[in-house]
Amino acid sequence: MIVPRTSREEILEKLGAKVAGRVPIFIASAGNGLVAKLLEKAGVDCINTFSGARLRANGMGTMSMMWPILDSNQQTLDYTEQDIMPALAGDAFVCACINANDPLRDMRTVLERLKSMGVVAVSNIGPSISYIDKDSNIYKVLVKSGITFDNEVDMLGLAKKMEMVTVALAFDMEDSVQVVEQARPDIFCFHAGTTKGGMVGYDSGEAIEETARRTEEVYEAVRELAPDTILVAHGAAMETPEDAQYMLDHTSGHGFWTGSSTERLPIERAVLEAAQEFASLKFRDRADEES
């Protein structure tokens, strides 16, 4: 097996051409090689790997990655190298979402490891402290102990200096402005909230109109700081292709990032339907057959 390689220049040239041609950029997460292979075949530009996606592949919700049941960075490094990279033909590039707040790892070493396996794009969502509400006690305790958004910003800045494509992600206006202003990412994704739907999705009750409105507010602020940054949407009420189309029609972004929508939810539906068909089979009455 020889894994296809690409470069920062090739990736940005391809994405730039799509932006210029008004073709939506499509980023999607994959928790295993089969999903990654299917996403690439469907035409996805970027496949994200992170511990939350791997947990989704095991039937858990994305947010289970916030509980200390695994070494998030080790999970991402291992399955990206062993499962995802060998499954791809090279049409899509891989972006690894890593935990910049890992107290046991030097981020430069993690980034070098990624580059050595052919991954030249990185994001700060694996996991991010931004998942935790800022007015909560646990957020304050984590920040006091050195788990900060600043570390995520610094990691993205270092990655860009190392000639990697950087995909920044933030959950509110304050963090969005900070990460764009300080890290100057190539791609910025506004995370509107956990995707609803399916067996473990969380529905906050927000409609797609509100998700689009909040996303556009952040886009406008980011564009003032860095007009050339590629903007993509993710999460909350954006569950279906129709929802993603609404986001394209009602925001000024350049595309979208799917997680559960193109991974957990389709698998739940397809496997359940196929298995139910098999489970409904019955033995025929031999007497009826003979007559």
What's residue 19's pLDDT? Answer: 98
pTM of the shown model:
0.90
Domain count along the chain:
1
Check residue 265 and give its pLDDT: 83
Find the distance separating the first CA and the last CA of the chain, reported in whole Å: 57
d(CA 127, CA 102): 10
Residues in the chain with pLDDT < 50?
199-200
Other beta carbons less than 10 A from residue 36's beta carbon: 28
- Cβ 99 vs Cβ 14: under 8 Å: no
Q: Is residue 288 part of a domain?
A: no
CA–CA separation, 186 vs 254, rounded Å?
A: 12
Which pLDDT tens digit goes with each residue over 89-145? Answer: 999 999 999 999 999 999 999 999 999 999 999 999 988 999 889 999 999 999 999
Instruction: Using the structure block, give the residue that is written with the tokens 């994704």.
Output: 189
In a domain, 161, yes or no: yes
Centre a 10 Å sphere on the Cβ of residue 31 and count the other Cβ atoms it contains. 27
Name 97's bridge partners: 123
The amino acid that residue 272 corresponds to is L
In a domain, 192, yes or no: yes
CA distance 243 to 228: 25
With respect to residue 227, please indicate whether it lies within any of the assigned structural domains. yes
| d(C-alpha 178, C-alpha 218), whole Å | 12
Judge whether 157 and 178 are in contact, CB under 8 Å. Answer: no
Cis peptide bond upstream of 127, omega within 30 = yes
Evaluate whether residue 212 is within a structural domain: yes
Does 287 map to a domain?
Answer: no
**Tokens standing for 181?**
């202003």
The boundaries of the domain holding residue 48 are 8-278
284 lies in some domain: no
257's tokens: 């990032």
Give the span between the Cα atoms of 261 and 196, in whole angstroms. 9
> Which pLDDT belongs to residue 162?
98
Quote the CA–CA distance of 102 and 16 in Å, as a whole number: 33
In a domain, 269, yes or no: yes
Q: What CATH number is associated with residue 113?
A: 3.20.20.70
**Helix boundaries (H) for the chain:** 8-20, 33-42, 51-57, 72-79, 107-116, 137-144, 149-161, 173-183, 208-225, 241-250, 264-279, 286-290
pLDDT of residue 268: 86
Buried b (16+ CB within 10 A) or exposed e, 49-85: bbbbbbbbbeebbbebbbeeeeebbebbbebbbebbb
